[in-house]
Amino acid sequence: MIKNRSALSGETVATTQSAPDGRTALRPDAPARRSRPQRADVVVIGAGVAGLVAAVILARRGVDTLVLECASRARVESRPRAGLLGPGAVDVLERNGLADGLRAEGAPHHNCEFRHRRQAFIVEYARHAGGRHHVVYPQQKLVAGLVAAYLASGGVIEFDATDVTLDALTSDHPTVSFVAADGQRRTVESRFIAGCDGHHGVSRRSIPEGALRNTRQHGSPWAWLAVLAAVAPSTDKIIYGISPRGFAGHMLRDHRTSRFYLQVEAATDAADWPSERIWEELHTRLAVDADWKLAEGPLLEPPNVITMDSLFYEPMRFGRLLLAGDASRRVPPAAAKGAGLAIADGETLALAVAAALHNSDERPLDAYSEACQARAWLAQEASTKLLQMVNVELSDSFARRLQDVRLDRLRTSPVAAAEFAEQYLSPV
Ligand code: APR
């Protein structure tokens, strides 16, 4: 546990006991034992980008904030995730003083390359968008910077916090109980809970069935095999390769690491893709009639299959629990919108909660879900468009002819390029 603020160190004397349902109840009459912390204005579940952005903004506004993260600090600061941030996300980080690392080490990204019928063409999307551009910056570095910023602002994080349970969500004092790294169960009373624990976390699952609507895309036939390799990129710009064998993507991370994607059948077993097969397929699908060579390197993790299904849960609020980021949706990796949306949600959540706590103004809370979801649906549209542009309908020649036309238009029409740029860069 990292703890650097005495205000949260629990002057209240109490112990906890397990209730028959496995949850933990406060037992104020139990033998005295110091237990920390017992109270926080806001408990944030999950130290991903959504949770940490929310936590830093709240902590800097003087809100007692506790972050609970089930993984270790080393794990969250090294776990490879996304790597491309759009201008909306960078703006959030900039205006909250969280962009130092990004400015120092991030690489601006202005152009992307498409490969189609073995010909390469470049879309100078930043030029079409008044100079707005992406920044390539590995998400784990961003997370490490956010952890440092949060701790520096006096926030408390419990890493390795397991078996998190949420209770009394519709009361004024919802509680969160968890088993801390020392094996002790603790219960924290709060005023708000920020559920930022990703798509498989506990927060959304704590909301009673029927209270959330979910809107999903049915039966996307597409999936991508995601590959992370220890090799310098063979390009200085993202490559979208559209080949008769399906899509292949060459993404950027840093000067020693590259991310690749291969379009595969949704039911693909990643175990059927040993590294030799992956490299062979990448060579074939990214082939271009030019002097270009793809450098190979060892895989940094086993490849995994990412389905392109999209899923939205609404509203993003149940009583005093607010969901943010992947806890409230799943968007495909195309167009790299997931991290940006999570960052933007984190800021919107923090400002809404701060207004409620400091000014008793609940209007931003009431508007929270709609504000985040409107942004997310716009991002989903951009992602859907990009998927249609790059994924190949292998058994549908009609769809392939339309795809050819779309790509030709993107290559030749400034209007099509400007439209692409707008969606590629907005809203995050
Ligand atoms: N208890 C505590 N922590 C949990 C729990 C739990 N039950 N379940 C998950 N977590 C933690 C995870 O270990 C992780 O650190 O919550 C965090 C969630 O972080 P992310 O998955 O990064 O979610 P989010 O902040 O919403 O960002 C998601 O990042 O990589 C991009 O595009 C990707 O859309 C995705 C976005």
Pocket test for ligand 1, best of 66, 67, 69 (most atoms within 8 A of CB): 69
How far is 222 from 224, CA to CA, in rounded Å? 7
Pocket test for ligand 1, best of 1, 56, 70 (most atoms within 8 A of CB): 70
Ligand 1 near 193 CB (within 6 A): no
| Side chain identity at residue 221, one-letter code | P
CA angle 307, 308, 312 (to 5 degrees): 110
Ligand 1 near 262 CB (within 6 A): no
Ligand 1 near 349 CB (within 6 A): no
Give 113 Cα–ligand 1 centroid separation in angstroms: 30
Could you tell me which residues come within 8 angstroms of residue 231 by beta carbon, excluding any fewer than 6 positions away?
A: 256, 257, 258, 295, 296, 297, 298
Instruction: Kindly state the tokens that stand for 35.
Output: 């237990």
CB 308 within 8 A of CB 334: yes
Find, among 69, 75, 19, the residue nearest to 44 by Cα: 69
Ligand 1 near 339 CB (within 6 A): yes
Q: Residue with the nearest Cα to atom 36 of ligand 1?
A: 339
Q: Residue with the nearest Cα to atom 19 of ligand 1?
A: 48
Ligand 1 near 334 CB (within 6 A): no
Give 51 Cα–ligand 1 centroid separation in angstroms: 8
How far is 111 from 127, CA to CA, in rounded Å? 8
Kindly give the number of the ligand 1 atom that is closest to the alpha carbon of 197.
16
Instruction: Kindly state the tokens that stand for 341.
Output: 């949306």
Query: For the whole model, what pTM was predicted?
Result: 0.92
Ligand 1 near 311 CB (within 6 A): no
Question: Scanning the structure block, which residue is given the tokens 């299959």?
Answer: 305
Pocket test for ligand 1, best of 68, 253, 326, 383 (most atoms within 8 A of CB): 326
Give pLDDT, residue 5: 42
Ligand 1 near 45 CB (within 6 A): yes
Ligand 1 near 82 CB (within 6 A): yes
Give 23 Cα–ligand 1 centroid separation in angstroms: 23
Q: Among all residues, which ones are annotated catalytic?
A: 109, 240, 333, 337, 424
Give pLDDT, residue 420: 98
Give 12 Cα–ligand 1 centroid separation in angstroms: 31
CA angle 328, 334, 336 (to 5 degrees): 65
Kindly give the number of the ligand 1 atom that is closest to the alpha carbon of 326.
26
How far is 416 from 403, CA to CA, in rounded Å? 14
- Per the document, the length of the chain is 428
Ligand 1 near 326 CB (within 6 A): yes
Q: At CB < 8 A and 24+ separation, what contacts does 415-422 make?
A: 417/123, 417/124, 417/125, 417/128, 418/128, 418/129, 420/123, 420/125, 420/128, 420/389, 421/123, 421/125, 421/126, 421/127, 421/128, 421/129, 422/128, 422/129
Give pLDDT, residue 36: 55
Per-residue pLDDT of the chain (428 residues; tens, 9 = 90+): 444 443 333 332 233 333 333 333 333 333 334 455 599 999 999 999 999 999 999 999 999 999 999 999 999 999 999 999 999 999 999 999 999 999 999 999 999 999 999 999 999 999 999 999 999 999 999 999 999 999 999 999 999 999 999 999 999 999 999 999 999 999 999 999 999 999 999 999 999 999 999 999 877 778 999 999 999 999 999 999 999 999 999 999 999 999 999 999 988 999 999 999 999 999 999 999 999 999 999 999 999 999 988 999 999 999 999 999 999 999 999 899 999 999 999 999 999 999 999 999 999 999 999 999 999 999 999 999 999 999 999 999 999 999 999 999 999 999 999 999 999 999 99
Q: Residue with the nearest Cα to atom 10 of ligand 1?
A: 197
Kindly give the number of the ligand 1 atom that is closest to the alpha carbon of 330.
34
Give pLDDT, residue 391: 96
CA 290 to chain centre: 36
Give pLDDT, residue 37: 52
How far is 177 from 165, CA to CA, in rounded Å? 5
Give 117 Cα–ligand 1 centroid separation in angstroms: 38
How far is 102 from 135, CA to CA, in rounded Å? 8
Kindly give the number of the ligand 1 atom that is closest to the alpha carbon of 46.
16
